Amino acid sequence: MLKGLGAFVTEFIEADIHKDQKATIIKKVLLDMLSNNSIDRLTLPCIIRRFDEFVDRIKANYEIYVSEFSFEKIRAQVEEEKFDKVIKVNKVLSDIQNQLLAVPVALFLAATQMTTAGEITVKNVFILVGYFIFFFLTRMLVNNQLTTLDAIKKEVAFQWDLIKQKHIDAKSRLSDYQHEVNGRIVSQGDTLKLIGMVNFTLLVTVLIIFTYYSGFFITALEKLAVFWGDLVMVAKFLPCGLQSSS
């Protein structure tokens, strides 16, 4: 009896796992050996003479198939996870787009509804307080989305650690998973931070409008003019020595 024949039959003939693929591999190996003159003819005596080489070739081909099959399965799972994470990252901004559209509208309403009274009016104060409330609500909304992005980033890092632990050989071929998702997270985070800066700038703009409409600028200029006039008048009555020394 051939050495290793029982193990070969058990693994490649009787086993149910990848049965069709194993049959295809056996046929391919036989044809390759025949084309390379490793065996003279596809007869049992010829195969028996090169049985060890025959089995080694089958095992090598099967290992290649299993490794590729496993990697493709792993990559499919990783691609699915990546797709899911990218959707989550995109939703971070898309979920608040409607609310963000209200930012320029709120500025326009605040600027057009305030009245130029030359003094503080109840209407202007209410508009200013309303914009302050709108500003803080928008800021909370942006901060919440930044927190969500941070949570997704930690989840991606955790899953990448699992991939590196479970699939050490494949991690270099799957590294784009973390890079692509993290790149998207950074991009969305920068956009949210820019929105926060714009929101703060608009708040300052509303404050300037309120100050101008309330006559603070005019009053300040008038007070500065009066102060300067008083300073000039005092300087005229100073002794000559003090004037020259000053």
- The alpha carbon dihedral of 144, 146, 148, 151 has a sign of negative
Q: What is the mean pLDDT of the segment spanning 72-84? A: 74
**C-alpha triplet 147, 150, 153: angle, nearest 5°:** 155
pLDDT attached to residue 216: 64
Selection from 28-37, 75-84, 168-177, 188-197 with the highest mean pLDDT: 188-197
CA atoms of 28 and 38, how far apart (whole Å) = 13
pLDDT attached to residue 242: 44
pLDDT attached to residue 95: 77
Percent of the chain with pLDDT over 90: 0
Mean pLDDT taken over the chain: 75
pLDDT at 219 over 60: no
Distance of CA 50 to the CA centre of its chain: 57
Question: Are 206 and 128 contacting, i.e. CB atoms less than 8 angstroms apart?
Answer: yes
**C-alpha triplet 71, 77, 81: angle, nearest 5°:** 140
> Model confidence over 80-109: pLDDT tens digits?
777 888 888 888 878 777 777 777 788 887
- The type of residue at 102 is A
SS3 67: helix
Distance of CA 209 to the CA centre of its chain: 37
Helix H or strand E segment including 29: helix 19-35
pLDDT at 176 over 80: no
Q: Model-level pTM?
A: 0.56
pLDDT attached to residue 46: 74
Kindly report the number of other CB atoms within 10 A of residue 216's CB atom: 15
From the list 70, 59, 63, 68, the residue with the least C-alpha distance to 29 is 59
